[in-house]
Structure 1
Amino acid sequence: MNWNKLETPEKLQEIIKNSDATPVLIFKHSTRCSISSMALSRFERQWNQEKMGNVQPYYLDLIQHRDISNLIAQELNINHESPQVLLVENGKCTYNASHSAIYFDDLVGKAS
């Protein structure tokens, strides 16, 4: 799986804007949490780009960039969770899962 890194507020604004043309997936990961590590590992093993079409995957390290996670919650009107997977389309969060509810197969077919 080839993650794009989400590390700046400017990048967040760019990907929200670009979600009008291309769906975006954001995986928010806490490097200090074993549940988050398990969810990330399972998600990466299940990932299949063909099934996700043109969805662009982004990875956010919550420990290094908690401010961006807070901005995501504000901009997309969602509650902060960790770990958390978000699907963003047309500037809105269209899918949101956290903790043990994060499964790749649940995302398949959700993106327009």
Structure 2
Amino acid sequence: MGIFNKMFGSSSEPSSSAKASKNKKEEKILPWIALNSVEQLDTIAEKSKTKTQLIFKHSTRCGISRMVMNQFVSAYDVNANADLYYLDLLSYRDVSNEVGFKFQVMHQSPQLLVLRNGVVVAHASHGGIIEMDLEKFL
């Protein structure tokens, strides 16, 4: 199963090994919104005026990034009042660059940005992502 199927869900029937592992522990699927265009950043900034917006920047080739993302998924409250964006920074490097420029945050990976009222109010990378108290921003 590819990373996007794990994140966004899959409409195909899971294999028998996937069914067996799913029986052991239900896989948690977050309400990710794919961030794949620079134009989305203006929309995210505007939406942050009424609802917290989160951007998770992930390097699909980095084991540390994958580990942090898995920890984030396990800990994230799916009922949180926030929109959650996923940015594959290797596939959308131009978007990743623009995130740093537009929101004045130095690029890191993995990285989580919290936006409110059009600006980044908090950000963290690596293990700091799991340590963030997101509830203060919701």
Q: TM-score, normalised by structure 1?
A: 0.91
The RMSD of aligned alpha carbons is 1.2
Higher relative contact order (CA 8 A, sep 6+): 1
Aligned-residue identity in percent: 38
> 1:49: how far off?
2.6
In structure 2, C-alpha distance between the alignment counterparts of 1:108 and 1:13, rounded to whole Å: 22
Residue pair 1:55, 1:111 contacting (<8 A) in 2 also: no
Partner AA of 1:71 in structure 2: E
Q: Give the structure 1 partner of residue 99 of structure 2.
A: 72
Q: Quick one: which of 118, 123, 126 aligns to 1:96? A: 123
Task: Please say which structure displays the higher CA radius of gyration.
Answer: 2
Matched, 1:35 2:64: yes
Deviations 1:13-62 (A, max 9, x none): 11111111111000000000000000000000111133x3x211000001
Q: Structure 2: 5+ residue runs without aligned partners?
A: 1-29
In structure 1, C-alpha distance between the alignment counterparts of 2:53 and 2:44, rounded to whole Å: 7
Give the 4+ runs in structure 1 shifted more than 6 A.
none
SS for the counterpart of 2:136 is: coil
How many residues align? The count is: 109
Residue pair 2:53, 2:114 contacting (<8 A) in 1 also: yes
